[in-house]
Amino acid sequence: MGTTTERTPKAAIKLIATGIALPPERVTSSTLDSRLGKSAGYVERRSGILHRYHATADASQAALAAEALHHALDSYHLDPSSVDLLICASAVAVQALPCSAIHILRAARLSSGVAGFDINSSCVSFISAFEVAAGLLNTGAYRRIAIVSADLASRGIDWQDEESSLIFGDGAACAIVERGDGRSGILATQVEMYPEGSELCEIRAGGTRRNPRAGIAEGDFLFHMQGKPLFRMASEKVEAFFTRLLNKSELALADIATVVPHQASHLSLAHMRKRLKVPESALIDIYRHYGNQVAASIPTALHEAFTTGRVMPGKPLMLIGTAAGLTLAGMVLLA
């Protein structure tokens, strides 16, 4: 394993700004105890969450995304017109057509005429978008790219399903990237799709598979999560995946200064600590205060790391997650 000072990124990319947005309503686990008729402390114990945020039924996903985008722009004094590509990297879209980037551009009141598209690999969309952004910055196609992930998971919560209903929170997060001088960038990316797990976590409606013509039921709009088999499949695969990612980066776990995981569940974060042996000092864990924010989790955790000095110039940073699909994605960067 090489030392970090020897490593040269394969694809230059530099994180220059981050921002987040949350719906106004903070839902505590004790509120859910009352709402669901549970004894005091039950929901917090079961979910590992103190509170999460839920949008009202009329709130706009695109408006929340736009708020995160402006938070990033404003906090780092960036001119909105300097963004020449807008990538939406959410798991669930605003609507079937047109793409969500359009709706975010409209809600953000940025100038018309900017380039954009959506990237989707469910909860790890942000990792795919980051890899794509690096490619486009290196061919010189764009100079400043805003990646925005926003998900309103609450709109699809099945309140009859205790396991999934307690963990989801809504939110949006933005990362703004440039090519930089080549010292920062991607050392390795690893993405693996295992479609044999496609029904372990899904929302069946929304496209051509379930609609009034193909046949649809009310429940098709809701998250269906087979928690135990999903966790079993993900945890079986993630250890070897983690090793492949580290090997590709030519680094050892001890070299990684900061690990930004998808905040999938209490169990998944415990698994990071115990089985993958990610030290507490490296792990970004915001789950207790946000829950699982679907595709917004990784960039929200990255914002937490970036704004608290845990994205350190020249130090290796890992993004990693297991997602609906089943998709595993990870990236090792020099920050």
Does residue 302 have a cis bond before it (omega within 30 degrees)? Answer: no
* Minimum distance of a copy of itself from residue 65's CB (angstroms): 11
Is there a contact between 96 and 207 (Cβ–Cβ < 8 Å)?
yes
Q: Which residue has the tokens 């909105």?
A: 80
- Residue with smaller CB distance to a copy of itself, 236 or 270: 236
In angstroms, give the least distance from the CB of 272 to a copy of itself.
21
> Element (H or E) spanning 146, and its range?
strand 145-151
Binding mask 20-59 for a copy of itself (x = CB under 8 A): -------------------------------------xx-
Inter-CA distances, 322 with 19, 134, 234, 239, 240, Å: 23, 22, 6, 11, 13
The least CB distance from residue 80 to a copy of itself, in Å, is 14
Alpha-carbon distance 314 to 214, whole Å? Answer: 52
Q: Is 136 in the site for a copy of itself (CB under 8 A)?
A: yes
By C-beta, is 75 or 163 nearer to a copy of itself?
163
Assigned token pair, 244: 């492949």
**Measured from the CB atom, is 213 or 274 closer to a copy of itself?**
213
Binding to a copy of itself (CB under 8 A) within 233-292 occurs at: none
What's the token pair of residue 86? 């807008």
For a copy of itself, what does the binding mask look like between residues 139 and 158, x meaning CB under 8 A? xxx----------x--xx--
Q: Which of 24, 215, 309, 313 binds a copy of itself (CB under 8 A)?
A: 215
Which residue lies nearer to a copy of itself by CB, 39 or 97? 97
- Cβ-based nearer residue to a copy of itself, 246 or 294: 294
Sign of CA dihedral 14, 127, 174, 113: positive
Three-class DSSP category at 100: helix
Site for a copy of itself in 54-93 (CB under 8 A): 57-58, 60-61, 85-86, 91-93
Rounded to the nearest whole angstrom, what is the least distance from the CB of residue 57 to a copy of itself in the complex?
5
Report the run of H or E that residue 148 belongs to, with start and end.
Answer: strand 145-151
Residue 100 sits in the site that holds a copy of itself (CB under 8 A): yes
Q: Report d(CA 66, CA 107) in Å as an integer.
A: 6
Closest to a copy of itself by CB, 50 or 216: 216
C-alpha–C-alpha distance, residues 34 and 37, integer Å:
5
